[in-house]
Amino acid sequence: MRQYLNWKTYLAVIALLIVSASLYYTSQLAQKLAGEEKKKVEELAGALKTLIRSNNIQETAFASNIIAQNTTIPLIILDDKGKITDSKNIDTLSAINPHKVVEEKLEEFRKTHKPIIADYGTGTDYIYYGESYLLTQLRYFPYVQLAIIILFLGVVLLALSAANRNLQNQVWVGLSKETAHQLGTPLSSIEAWLELLRENDANNDAVTEMQKDLDRLKLVADRFGKVGSAPQLEEQNLLTRLEDIVAYMQRRSPAKVNITLHSPLKEVPVNISGPLFDWVMENLIRNALDAMDGKGKIDITVTNTPQQVWVDVQDTGKGIPGHQVKKVFTPGFTTKKRGWGLGLSLSRRIIEKYHHGSIYVKQSEVGKGTTFRIILRR
C-alpha cells in the first residue's frame, strides 16, 4: 500500500478535499440564495394582489415599488387559462421571435420550480420563475474552481517532474564524468605494461588484441567524459564505422553467433558523433548477444533514402513480450539479472537529443527475435 502513497497521491487528496469543501459550502450558499429568491417571488405575488385588490394609495405605491425592485429574478406570469400575460428579466431584445424565447424559458422554469400562485378572488395568476444570474454563477463556481485546481496541479506536477529529471540528469552526468576520471589512472598503467610486454618480445598477437581492448576502454572512458556535453557532429562514412564495430564485436562474440552487415552501397555519408554512435550500436549488439544464449545471428541492415538513413539491428534471440516493448527505453528497466537498465535509455538520449533522430523497436516476437531501428536525418 505504501508504494502508492507518494507525494503526488497526497497532493491529489488535498486538492480533492479542497474541491469537496468548496462544493459543500457553495451548495449551502446556493440553497440559501435560492430560498431568498423564492421569498422575493412570493412577496412579488403578494404585491400583485395588493395592486388589484387595494384602493389605498400608499399600499399600491409600496406594492409597485416591490415589483419594480425585481431586476434579477426572471419570471413569467400566466393567467388561470394558461396564457402568458407578462414576463420580467428575460432577454428578448436580440431575439428574432421574442414570444418563442419566452415559451422556451417557461418550459425551463416549469422543470425548475413550482409556480407561485396569486389568487385575486376574481381570478388567479401563476408566477413561474428561474434563477438569477448570480445564483447560476454560484452553482457553476465549484466546477470552475475544480478546473483551475486541476490546471494548477498539472503545471506543478510538470514543473516538479522537469526539475526531478534535471536533477537526475545532473547526477548521471556527474557520475559519468567521475567514472571517466577514475578510469584514467588504471588505463595509463595498463598502457605502460603493454609497452613493457612489447619490449620483452611477448606474444605479438596477444599484445595486439590487448592494445585493441585498451583502445576500446579509452574510447569508453572518453564517451563517459562527454556525457552532458554537446558532441560535435561530423560527416563520416556510416558503413566504415559499422564495419569496424561488427569486426570488433564478432571477435568477442560466441563462435556460433554470426554478425553480418548488409548494404547495397559502399559509402553512406551522414553527420554523427562517432564515439557516441558506436556506443549505441555496441549496446544494441550486446543486448542481442545476451538474448541469444550463445548461438544465432545478428543482421545489421543499412537503408539509404534521400531524407534519412535507417539502421536496422535484427537478432534471432528470445524476443520482447508485447507488454514490455514500450518500457525498454525507460531508465532502470531491464530483463537481465545484471545491469542497471540504462543502456537503451542512454542510447535513445544519444540518438534523439544529440543526433536529432529516433530509435524504436520496429518488430519483436517472443521466441523469434527483435528488430531495433535507428533513423538518422540527412
Tens of pLDDT, residue by residue over 242-296, are 999 999 899 889 989 999 999 999 899 999 998 889 989 999 999 999 888 889 9
Count how many domains the chain has. 3
* Residue 189 pLDDT greater than 60, yes or no: yes
**Average pLDDT, whole number, for the chain?**
83
Which of 36-40, 194-198, 257-261, 353-357 is predicted least confidently? 194-198
**10-14, 207-211, 253-257: which range is least confident on average?**
10-14
**Count, residues in the chain:** 378
Statement: residue 325 has pLDDT above 70? yes
Is there a domain that residue 140 lies in? no
**Is there a single domain that holds both residue 24 and residue 111?**
yes
Name the percent of the chain lying above pLDDT 90. Answer: 23
Q: What is the pLDDT of residue 232?
A: 84
Question: Containing domain of residue 155, as a range?
Answer: 147-227
Boundary residue ending a domain (209, 227, 245): 227
Phi, psi for 6 (deg, rounded to 5): -100, -175
End-to-end Cα spacing for the chain? 50
Q: Do 124 and 64 fall within a single domain?
A: yes
Mean pLDDT across 317-329: 88
pLDDT in tens, 93-118: 777 888 888 888 888 888 888 888 88
Residue type for position 193: W
The yes-or-no verdict on residue 157 having pLDDT over 80 is no
Q: Are 241 and 372 part of one and the same domain?
A: yes
| Domain identity same for 188 and 262 | no
pTM confidence score: 0.52
Q: Is position 142 within any domain?
A: no
* pLDDT for the residue 1: 46
Between 7-53 and 133-199, two packed helices, what is the crossing angle to 10 degrees? 170
